[in-house]
Amino acid sequence: MSEVDVFNFKGEKTGTLALSSRLFDQKINATVLHEVVTMQLANQRLGTVSTKTRGEVSGGGIKPYKQKHTGRARAGSTRSPLWRHGGIIFGPRPRNYKYDVPAKKKQAALISALSSKANDNGIIILDKLELAQPKTKNVGQLLKKLKVQGLTLLVVDKVTTDLARASRNIQSLGLAAATKLNVYEILQSKHLIITKEALAVLEARVKEK
């Protein structure tokens, strides 16, 4: 069980906290991580690309020329896939790319991702999130005092309107609720700033039944 520093919203160290070994000190399962991340990326695909078959292309209702004695191949429509402006053969159609993996795999991947981030010293615990005003300046000062650089993910127990408004203009900062935190967001970020309330939610998510 490793210990990490705890900071307040002013960026001042207020103590240390022992991280749960169940959540942050487990063997990293790269295979499960890959499987879950692949699923999450696939579920983000819209699948709205579409092409028209010969039955959907406008026009082509009349035979372009007579059947015989023209020296040309027989043709019944100008919208044949062989013709310019004709239909598309086996083109992409709207589809749903979403699929799911078992809940135990999702939990194992979440634990592996958090353990990996803990191994890289990328976990920062925030004692309390005290946002007096929904201003980007306040959140920016926090990141500056914590001396974090690169992509950073702020994990809270609940995403409020004020917090979303204050953090949305910081390109290097992401915002996530602990109940919806996913593996891809964790691996994509260099640092995780987790509030104590969010940490309790995460521990409840992976609590053994």
Q: Could you list the pLDDT tens digit for every one of the 209 residues in the chain?
A: 578 888 888 888 888 888 888 889 899 999 999 999 999 999 999 999 999 999 999 988 889 999 999 999 999 999 999 999 999 999 999 999 999 999 999 999 999 999 999 998 889 999 888 777 888 988 888 888 888 888 999 999 988 888 899 888 899 999 999 999 999 999 999 999 999 999 999 988 887 54
Pairing of strands 3-7, 13-18: antiparallel
CA distance 134 to 169: 12
Q: What is the pLDDT of residue 1?
A: 54
**Domain-by-domain residue ranges, the chain?**
3-28+100-205, 46-96
Please give the model's pTM, rounded to 2 decimal places: 0.82
CATH 3.40.1370.10 fits 3-28+100-205, yes or no: yes
70 SS3 class:
coil
71: CB partners within 8 A, 6+ apart: none
Taken in order 118, 122, 124, 130, is the CA torsion positive or negative?
A: negative
Q: List strands edge to edge, sheet with 123-126.
A: 13-18, 3-7, 123-126, 191-195, 152-156, 173-177
List 176's β-bridge partners, or say none. 155
